[in-house]
Amino acid sequence: MRLTGLASGLDIDSMVQELMAARRKPYDNLFQKKTTMQWQREQYREVSAKLVDFSLNKLSSYSLSSAISAKKAQVTGSTTAVSSTATSGAATGTMTVSIAQLATATRYTSSASGGLTGGPIDLSSTLQELKDSHGLTYTAVDSTITLEINGTEITLNENEDTMATLISKINSKTDVNAVFDSGSGKLSLTTKETGAAADVAIVGDVLDVFDLEWNVAGEDAVATVNGLQITSASNKISINGVELTFLEVTDGSEATISVGTDTEKIMDTIKSFINDYNEVLNLLNGKVNEERYRTYQPLTTEQKAEMKDSEIELWEERAKSGLLQRDSILTSLVSNMRLGSISNVNVDGVEINLTSLGITTGAWEERGKLVIKDEAALRDAIEDNPEQVMAFFTQKSTDKTPAAEDAGLFTRLTNSVSASLKDLAEKAGTSRYSAELTTKFMENSLMGEQLLQLERRMDTVNSQLLRMENQYYKQFAAMESAINKFNSQAGALASFMA
């Protein structure tokens, strides 16, 4: 039991804490070192998440031919008869299209005598209720009704399912659209697929009462493309990488489809890439060049207790600054990114670089930022030789070096970023594949091991401090006991003398 200075009049707790303050310095140093390392790790994770997003999400999407080699198809003439969409593999050129017949669906409807009877139908009535009141007929086994349409089976419960749920299940589960008129009690079934082969095959008797009759026969679309007659079960076809949708019969006229490079989309892709590249470069440059305030160390619990929240916030802002200053992994990545972006790419024997596309690095103080200096030159390059522009950015190579001559810019950057993500994972335990800032660290990393060792050392030092503190209290307790004994003896002597 710890004693206060009742006999001595001393503030023993304060004295012990003063004695321990100097003894705690080694522990505080370890605590500050651990906190600094944790902050560094969090900043590594911030950088890693940005790099993963840039490499796996942004660069991957920009490398798609639909982004960097986009094509467009424009319709002239009978513009209301057909719509067109060009894929990235569409052949440049023109085609004429005339449409003699659209593809249609097959439809079955209730006959004149078919349908439910007895007036307007309440869609919320169960099938059992409709059987009793409106002439619905079916076969049920243990209240279960089975219906099969074009090979897809639907199970119904006569006491739970209604006409509304019956229609809903047909529409959601089969390749048929059902429409029920609650006023007349009539039913219509239309195939979702078009074409002469489209049909409706029903197994089960729950729809027998509607006496469904073939009403409209499905037909194939008939069109002529550049003189070639085409028959299709669908109104959507693909020719030479162009997706055509037939909308109406042309009645003797024609639609002309012109396929060419989608310059604007490719321009947008390159502009988006430059913005993302500059964001990553700004983050990296900011980290490696951030000022370090070495006199601002992480605050201990005791130090925080003596400060306001606003003071703590400002202090920690300084303490966290520059933790990745001149970091070797990040500085190497900055160098590799800049080298990869300014070096020539060999495309079929032709040396191409960003400058030839009207793109340059900014002023020296912008530390490698990319800028479109001549938009007209970039636009001309895309329009004159889109395949060459695409190759400059996306050309693959087995050479993983930062400025591999035959590797496109996106490929170079992906390789450089991937290598740095691997280094960050090995050092800080960050994820090579997650762009989330909350992703857990891997402990089997250099910093993970270092933090574990620090925690063990802190536990050891803390145990020593506790023993030392207890020893101080024991010594003061012995002093208090001695003083009490002396006071007791002095009191007895005084009484005797009196």
User: 98 in a domain, yes or no?
Assistant: yes
User: 197 in a domain, yes or no?
Assistant: yes
Are 110 and 256 part of one and the same domain? no
Are 177 and 246 part of one and the same domain? no
Are 181 and 243 part of one and the same domain? no
Task: Determine how β-strand 359-361 pairs with β-strand 370-372.
Answer: antiparallel
Long-range Cβ contacts of 478-487 (<8 Å, 24+ apart): 479/8, 480/3, 480/5, 480/6, 480/7, 480/8, 480/12, 483/7, 483/8, 484/7, 487/7
User: 387 in a domain, yes or no?
Assistant: no
Smallest CA-to-CA distance from 177 within 155, 198, 204, 206 is with 198
Are 111 and 207 part of one and the same domain? yes
Are 78 and 157 part of one and the same domain? no
User: 110 in a domain, yes or no?
Assistant: yes
Number of domains in the chain: 2
State the residue range of the domain holding 181.
105-216
Number of H helices, E strands in the chain: 14, 19
For 402, phi and psi rounded to 5 degrees?
A: -60, -30
Are 205 and 76 part of one and the same domain? no
User: 323 in a domain, yes or no?
Assistant: no
Are 168 and 119 part of one and the same domain? yes
Are 99 and 225 part of one and the same domain? yes
| Residues near 409 by beta carbon (within 8 Å), at least 6 away in sequence | 340, 341, 345, 354, 392, 393
Q: What is the pLDDT along the chain (498 residues), one digit of tens a residue?
A: 444 555 555 667 777 677 667 778 888 889 999 999 999 999 999 999 999 999 999 999 999 988 898 999 999 999 999 999 999 889 999 999 999 999 999 999 999 989 999 889 999 999 999 999 999 999 999 999 999 999 999 999 999 999 999 999 999 999 999 999 999 999 999 999 999 999 999 999 999 999 999 889 999 999 999 999 999 999 999 999 999 999 999 999 999 999 999 999 999 999 999 999 999 999 999 999 999 999 999 999 889 999 999 999 999 999 999 999 999 999 999 999 999 999 999 999 999 999 999 999 977 778 899 999 999 999 999 999 999 999 999 999 999 999 999 999 999 999 999 999 999 999 999 999 999 988 899 889 999 999 999 999 988 888 887 888 777 778 777 777 777 777 677 666 676 665
| Residues near 466 by beta carbon (within 8 Å), at least 6 away in sequence | none
Domain holding 186: CATH number?
Answer: 3.30.70
SS3 label, residue 247: coil
Q: Please report the DSSP string for 400-421 in residue order.
A: -STT-TTS-HHHHHHHHHHHHH
Between CA 454 and CA 462, with CA 458 as vertex, the angle to 5 degrees is 175
Smallest CA-to-CA distance from 106 within 170, 194, 188, 181 is with 194
363 conformational bin, left if phi > 0, alpha if psi -120 to 50, beta if neither: beta
| Structure tokens belonging to residue 481 | 């006991």
User: 178 in a domain, yes or no?
Assistant: yes
User: 351 in a domain, yes or no?
Assistant: no
Q: Among 206, 239, 261, which residue terminates a domain?
A: 261
User: 212 in a domain, yes or no?
Assistant: yes
Q: Among 150, 185, 216, which residue terminates a domain?
A: 216
Are 123 and 184 part of one and the same domain? yes
CA 460 to chain CA centroid, nearest Å: 44
| Structure tokens belonging to residue 185 | 């009690």
CB 397 within 8 A of CB 403: no
| Structure tokens belonging to residue 405 | 């001559």
At residue 498, what is the residue type? A
Q: Is residue 290 packed enough to be buried (19+ CB in 10 Å), middle (13-18) or exposed (0-12)?
A: middle
Are 139 and 167 part of one and the same domain? yes
Are 201 and 243 part of one and the same domain? no
